[in-house]
A and B are shown apart, each in its own frame.
Chain A
Amino acid sequence: MEKKEIAVREDILGSNKKVATEIRAKLAPAGILVVNFLSSPGSGKTSLLERIAVTLRPTHKMAVIEGDIETERDAERIRKKGVPAWQITTGGACHLEAKMIARLLPEIPSETEFLFIENVGNLVCPASYDLGESLRCVLLSAPEGDDKPKKYPKAFSTADCLIITKADLIPYLPFDLERAGNEALEINPRLRIFVTSALHGRGIAELVRYFIETRVNMIQRHA
């Protein structure tokens, strides 16, 4: 028996990254902007998507992939807004992986312009998995507290934009909007920050404009 040391130097999540890169290489040049929504459970991802649907759907084609541990509930909520939606139930897993998205791609209509992925509610694990998105948004709801960015640095450091949700509750909470924004910017100075309320509609138009601009930029990059 001989002992042998092998230098491997391989990314453990390399196989996920490979699939994610393939998804991006297919969808981005086809004009489909994939947006990955990350947040804790109950921070308002589905409610925000419902609001986005009201503003975006009249002029653009959108579709949604919902990730949850169990139930079809979120996809049903989105379908009620007239938006095609697919539910991935992970059966216990705390995050979505690129291969789960890849499996669904044949079902996504080719005329789709925006494909939103609502990740499993969890501010830790989904941050490690590239899903082939061109835009990653992290949501932070006001009731969660303004100290979250430093507690969950990976999610905030890998995101392109921070969406503060449930802003209508800020007057009733010890939530310092400036502190939350500054903490997030210390971790990730390139973060775009949006302050929204899905209940009252605050900030939704700006956010939708940002998605539309990001898609235009993506198309120009691939032209």
Chain B
Amino acid sequence: MKLQIHKNYKIKSDSELVDLLRDKKRISEKAFEAIFDRYSYNVNAYVRTVIGDADDSADIFQETFIRFYNNIINGAEITNLQSYLIKISRNLCLNYKRDKKNNVEVEDFHKIVNEENFYENQELLEIVMRALDLMDDKYKEAFVLKKIDGMKFEEVANVLDLTLEGAKTRVNRARIKLLEILDPYIKDLEFKDK
């Protein structure tokens, strides 16, 4: 008989893993690890994009999973695990942002990107993330949920408490805005590797 070690919890569904979180500690620990491995990237992507600051976003990322675990232990019922995690992190981000103002201006972005051949030395993703900082949070988070976390428009609408059409509009406006900001810098790129 051949057996893949360490794989069994990774093939369980979200709802199975959530149920196992309430089991005895040894099983709960393994279920949590499987959930963490499955969604930590998505949560971190959302928090990093919305918050920007690496230290603050790390705090919110950690708090998200600790709150999630405690909520489940205390009997919280969930239907969509990823959306639930993102909602926790979103609430934490909103609390954090309440007293903060995004002071980045378009001129600042152009200045940063033009300095020291920034564009030539950075991955396009890095530049896109800088450009996202210029947007309102409502567009930024819609964009990251759809394009980075890979959510469906229905899930984006659920997390952001929007209609399906509203979620779609926000994501597409973010994409168009992003293109406008990056347009001068993508000109030189133009499929250079192709």
Chain A partners chain B = no
Report which B residues bind A (CB closer than 8 A): none
